[in-house]
Structure 1
Amino acid sequence: MTISDWIMILAVFLGPIVAVQLTKYLDAKKEKRQRKLDIFKTLMATRSYSTSWDHVMTLNRIDLEFERSNPKEKAVIDSWKQYLDLLGDKTIKGEQWGAKRIELLVELLYKMALVLDYDFDKTHIKNSAYSPIAHGNIDIQQAKIREGIIDILEGNRNIPMRVTNLPEQS
């Protein structure tokens, strides 16, 4: 048997193994990118609703899916840490906190866009979300209703009642 025969035999046996391993590698890489895309798309879609469950749960997946070993992805994690620090900061109040929150969220989304090859600038990320005023009003009303019911249940508030018609006495 010649050396070319041995190479042919080796190629016949190793070819399928290499093809399967390459396919598995490419599939894993594709799935990893898809998980990052899912995070980015959810955060972009909910950027005007920072207290929504989807937004909060997705934020908590960032450090699970983005890798510190990749410099661009490390920038995402670093931005996420800054955003997380602000979200837990009780010393900044009102509009200043809100403005800083938006600034840090935009920075986080911008860095994710760079990793995922989206051509979004910070102005686009900040200003292109649609959030109807009615949704904000509903959120405010629901919060007032919850607070009122809690006050009643805790005995801090009474239910105002007025009797308008008494039944006739016979």
Structure 2
Amino acid sequence: MRLKIVLEDETCTADPFTTPHHQFITIKTLHHHCLLGHIKTEKGTATWIPTTWGHAAARGMESLKNQALAIGIDSYVIMPNHIHMILKHHSRHRKNHISKFVVSCKTHLTYHLNVSRSSIRQYWHPSYEALIIRNAATYNVLSLSIQEHRKNWKYDMLYTPCCKNNSRS
């Protein structure tokens, strides 16, 4: 049985998760250095304190999010040494492969980071992690994870206890 979703205009559409159009992607900084900032926890509230590069990465992510691409960014979170994002393929034709998008994303972010520091260097680990989101429940869990990620930073697999000392900005 196929799930149908009724839209506000009362038209029906197939469940968007019957074919994988969403992916959860993680890109990491080179050597897991905390170039993008650190997390400060005070009275149960976690706050991301961005470095100059963290601010530049945020500008780059917002710029990418606002572009009309075949692959779009639904949501993201910038952490001290990595970025998580949920991507959506806007086209059913997969000519735009995710690996090409990730490369262009890293290139775009590097441009913003280099402009902010007037230096040219490699910031990103060459690989990335990807998970295909196959249903609405998984999408909702990962979306909530992005919203709550900073609060739970010390439980992240990429957590570096001395992250504040790794910062290179």
- Could you tell me the TM-score, scaled by structure 1's length? 0.27
Q: TM-score, normalised by structure 2?
A: 0.27
Higher alpha-carbon Rg: 1
Higher strand share: 2
Bigger relative CO (Cα 8 Å, ≥ 6 apart): 2
